[in-house]
Amino acid sequence: MSREQRGPNEKLGAVLALAGISNAGLARRVNDLGAQRGLTLRYDKTSVARWVSKGMVPQGAAPHLIAAAIGQKLGRPVPLHEIGLADADPAPEVGLAFPRDVGQAVRSATDLYRLDLAGRRAGSGGIWQSLAGSFAVSAYATPASRWLITPADSSVAREVHLVEESGAPLKVGHSDVQKLREAAEDARRWDSKYGGGDWRSSMVPECLRVEAAPLLLGSYSDEVGRALFGASAELTRLAGWMAFDTGQQEAAQRYYIQALRLARAAADVPLGGYVLASMSLQATYRGFGDEGVDLAQAALERNRGLATARTMSFFRLVEARAHARAGDAHAAGAALKAAEGWLERSREGDHDPSWLGFYSYDRFAADAAECYRDLKAPRQVRRFTEQALSQPTEEFVRSHGLRLVVSAVAELESGNLDAACEQGVRAVEVAGRISSARTTEYVKDLLHRLEPYGDEPRVVELRERARPLLMTPA
C-alpha cells in the first residue's frame, strides 16, 4: 500500500543517483532487507519509479527499509527527511539522536524506553524485530565527537509541575536514585549468570520505562539530577549490553547512544568511557575493528588523570581487542601490555566504580586470548585461556562458556582435535544453561571450524550435543 505525495519525490531521486542505485536495484535491496525481518515484500522497478516520479509513499516499514538500503550503499545513516519520506512513522529513528540540550536528551531517552514496551505489547516479540534500520557503525561518530568536545553539561536541574497519582508534585530525591542503582546492580548479576536473554534480564527495559522515565521527567536539583542521570545511564547501557548479547544489534546501538548522552548529563566521565568501550566492543564484534579502535581511544583520551588504574586497564584491553580484529598485531600487543601494566598498578583501596566489579586478571586473560585468536597465534591463546579458566565461577557463567569455546579453537589450531572436542562439549553444556545469542554464535563458529573433521566420532558427538542449542532461539 502507498499514499500519494504532492508531485515527484526529487529528494529520493537525487539520493538514488548519488548512491548509484537503479530502480530495480533499490527494489531488490528493500525486498532483501524485509526478508531478513520476516517480511514478504514484492517491490520492483515500477514500484520505485512511482515513489520517485509520482511521490508515492510506501506504508509500514518500507520507508525505513529504503533509507537502510541506501545507507548501506553510501556507508552512513540516511534519515528519512533526506529522501523525502519524513512523513513516515518516525519510530525506528528513535534513540539515534545525541541532543545538545539536556531537556531534549531526556525526551530522546524516554521516547526510546516507551518505544520498546510498545513493541512488546503489540505481540511482535519487541519493537526491535520490526525496525527497518540496520546497525551502522557510523551512527556512533556524532555521539562520540560531541562527548569528547563536551563530556559534561553545565547544569541539569529541572523544575516541572508533573503530578503523581497521589496528587503531589513528582520531586526526585536520592532514595529514588538509589533504587535505580540497586536495580542496575541486580541486572548486572542476572546478565553475567544467566545471559542477556534471560527473563530476569529482560526486565531492564521495563524498569527504564516504569521507574527511570518518570523520574527523568520529574523535578530535581542539580546534585540529585547528576546522580539520577548516572543511574539511568548505567541501566540504559545494561539494556544495550543485553540487547547486544541476544543479537539485537539495532536496539543495542540506540541504548548505547542514549546511555552516553545520559552519562554526559551526569558529568560522569568514566561512565561515559565505559559506554564508549561497550560501543567499541560491539563495533569490533561486528567486524569494524578500525572504528572500534577509535571508540576505545575516545574513552581513554577523556579519562586520563580521571579514571582509576583498573578502569584505564579495561579501556586499554578493549582497544587491544579492536586492534586485533583489525589485524594490527603490534598495536594489539602494545595495548595489552599497557592494560596489564594498569591492572598491576590497581590497589584494593582504589575507588573503582561499581560497574567495573566484573574486571579482574582472569577477564584480562580471557580477552587477551581472544586477541591472539583473532591474530591466529594459538600458542598465546592457550597460555591466556589456561589462566582465564583457572578459577571458574558460578557468578560469570556466560564468560566461562565463551572462554571454553576460545580454548577449543586454540586446541584445534594446535592440532589437538580430542582436546578441542572435549572443551567444546563443556562449552555446549554451559551454553545450554544460559540465554545468550553471542555464546551460541561462538559455538557455531567452533562447529564451522570442525567441519573438515566432520566424520570423526568426537566431532559427531559434539555436533549432536550442540543440536538442541542451535535449534533454540537465544
d(CA 362, CA 399): 10
The more confidently predicted of residues 79 and 163 is 79
Share of the chain above pLDDT 70, in %: 87
Is 27 exposed, middle or buried, given 0-12, 13-18 or 19+ CB atoms closer than 10 A?
buried
Q: Which of 231, 224, 236, 266 is nearest to 102 (CA)?
A: 266
pLDDT tops 60 at residue 127: no
Which pLDDT band holds residue 201 (cuts at 50, 70, 90)?
Answer: low
**Do the bridges between strand 56-58 and strand 2-4 make them parallel or antiparallel, or are there none, so unpaired?**
antiparallel
Element of type H or E holding 95: none
pLDDT tops 70 at residue 165: no
What residue segments make up the domains of the chain, in order of their start? 2-89, 269-352
Is 155 exposed, middle or buried, given 0-12, 13-18 or 19+ CB atoms closer than 10 A?
exposed
Mean predicted confidence (pLDDT) in 370-392: 89
pLDDT tops 80 at residue 15: yes
d(CA 33, CA 156): 41
CATH numeric code, 2-89: 1.10.260
d(CA 275, CA 234): 9
pLDDT tops 80 at residue 117: no
Q: Are 357 and 311 in contact (CB under 8 A)?
A: no
- How many residues in total does the chain contain? 474
Q: Are 73 and 134 in contact (CB under 8 A)?
A: no
- Residue 371 amino acid letter: C
Which pLDDT band holds residue 119 (cuts at 50, 70, 90)?
Answer: very low
What's the chain's average pLDDT? 86
**CA torsion, ordered 426, 430, 433, 437, to nearest 10 deg:** -120
d(CA 109, CA 173): 20
Q: Are 144 and 298 in contact (CB under 8 A)?
A: yes
What pLDDT digit, counting tens, does each position of 383-398 carry?
A: 999 888 887 666 778 8
Task: Give the chain's end-to-end CA distance (angstroms, integer).
Answer: 34
d(CA 332, CA 99): 34
Mean predicted confidence (pLDDT) in 8-21: 92
pTM for the model stands at 0.79
Looking at the domain 269-352, which fold is it?
1.25.40
Radius of gyration, alpha carbons of the chain: 23
Q: List the beta bridge partners of residue 158.
A: 220
d(CA 402, CA 285): 13
Q: What is the pLDDT of residue 217?
A: 93
Q: Which of 162, 136, 153, 160 is nearest to 74 (CA)?
A: 136
Q: What is the pLDDT of residue 187?
A: 86
**Helices (runs of H) and strands (runs of E) counted in the chain:** 21, 2
Q: What is the pLDDT of residue 78?
A: 82
Q: Are 215 and 239 in contact (CB under 8 A)?
A: no
